[in-house]
């Protein structure tokens, strides 16, 4: 396919179906080409700046793609949470380089994926903790609990890595906290108390 035909196809898919991320297989089917041929063609389009490679085997138009769309393309069960979700909601001041994605699936060898947004880290959460939000990005209360949960696995403290603001505005229900281990609940409650004392 020629460049104009590719751009027309991608724009039409975005406009009519809201689809912005495509796999190599999908694009090979559209072009009726083998994987080897499509890889050469996609490489040419990326070099020319017409499309963007978002992750291995994932391509789309250079503008308008959100991180949650890319995550859903890689793993439909995953959702964006932790520090990146808190940044999106305005509770963390710096852009996290690691984007935590809680999922029900195991991503053993491909757990970490480099993308233009940062490194996607797929974390297989326990059935009790896993709770996919409606918008594929966790709400602040869930995101702070997930952040503490994922950092405790690595022996890290949230305050040593991030600068929080307005944490006292996040209302965390007892029902939400009950899904997490006792140590996570205690750390989240400590963060809330510190935030209230500082405000």
Q: What is the pLDDT of residues 108-134, one digit of tens each?
A: 778 899 999 999 999 999 999 999 998
Interhelix angle 3-17/35-47, nearest 10 degrees: 90
The predicted-structure confidence for 4-59, as pLDDT tens digits, reads as follows 888 899 889 988 988 899 999 899 988 888 888 888 999 999 999 999 999 988 99
Please, which residues have CB within 8 angstroms of residue 10's CB and are 6 or more apart in sequence?
22, 51, 60, 61
Same domain, 13 and 36: yes
Same domain, 72 and 119: yes
The predicted-structure confidence for 150-174, as pLDDT tens digits, reads as follows 999 888 888 888 888 888 889 999 9
> Residue 136 above 80 pLDDT?
yes
Count how many domains the chain has.
2
Same domain, 135 and 184: yes
> Residue 196 above 80 pLDDT?
no
Same domain, 20 and 77: no
Dist CA 56 CA 75 (whole Å): 13
Structure tokens belonging to residue 195: 């935030």
Dist CA 116 CA 112 (whole Å): 13
pLDDT value at position 199? 63
Structure tokens belonging to residue 83: 């520090």
Same domain, 98 and 177: yes
DSSP letters of 136-185? SB--HHHHHHHHHHHHHHTT--HHHH--B-SGGG----HHHHTTS-HHHH
Same domain, 74 and 22: no
Q: For strand 58-60 and strand 21-23, is the pairing parallel, antiparallel, or unpaired?
A: antiparallel
What is the extent of the structural domain holding 59? 3-65
Of the two residues 120 and 106, the one the predictor is more confident about is: 120
No. of helices (H) and no. of strands (E), the chain: 9, 7
Same domain, 73 and 47: no
Q: What confidence category does residue 94 fall into, taking pLDDT thresholds of 50, 70 and 90? A: confident
Same domain, 49 and 86: no
Same domain, 40 and 81: no
By the 8 A CB rule, do 54 and 120 touch?
no
Q: Which of 46, 65, 84 is the last residue of a domain?
A: 65
Question: DSSP character for 92?
Answer: B
Q: What is the mean pLDDT of residues 73-86?
A: 94
Cβ neighbourhood burial of 99 (10 Å; 0-12, 13-18, 19+): buried
pLDDT value at position 146? 96
Q: Which of 65, 81, 103 is the last residue of a domain?
A: 65
pLDDT value at position 118? 93
Same domain, 60 and 78: no
Same domain, 131 and 194: yes
> CATH number, domain at 46?
1.10.10.10
Same domain, 61 and 74: no
User: Scanning the structure block, which residue is given the tokens 């495509």?
Assistant: 22
Q: Which of 30, 65, 100 is the last residue of a domain?
A: 65
């Amino acid at each position: 396919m020629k460049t104009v035909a590719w751009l027309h196809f991608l724009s039409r898919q975005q406009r009519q179906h809201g689809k912005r991320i495509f796999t190599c297989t999908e694009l090979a089917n559209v072009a009726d080409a083998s994987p080897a041929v499509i890889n050469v063609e996609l490489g040419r389009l990326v070099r020319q700046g017409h499309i963007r490679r978002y992750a291995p085997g994932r391509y789309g138009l250079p503008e308008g793609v959100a991180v949650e769309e890319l995550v859903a393309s890689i793993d439909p069960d995953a959702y964006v949470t932790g520090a990146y979700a808190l940044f999106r909601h305005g509770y963390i001041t710096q852009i996290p380089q690691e984007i935590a994605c809680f999922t029900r699936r195991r991503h053993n060898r491909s757990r970490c994926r480099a993308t233009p947004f940062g490194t996607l880290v797929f974390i297989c959460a326990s059935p009790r903790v896993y709770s996919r939000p409606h918008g594929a990005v966790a709400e602040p209360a869930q995101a702070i609990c997930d952040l503490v949960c994922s950092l405790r696995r690595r022996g890290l403290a949230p305050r040593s890595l991030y600068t929080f603001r307005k944490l006292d505005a996040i209302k965390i229900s007892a029902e939400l906290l009950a899904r997490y281990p006792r140590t996570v609940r205690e750390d989240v409650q400590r963060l809330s108390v510190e935030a209230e004392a500082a405000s």
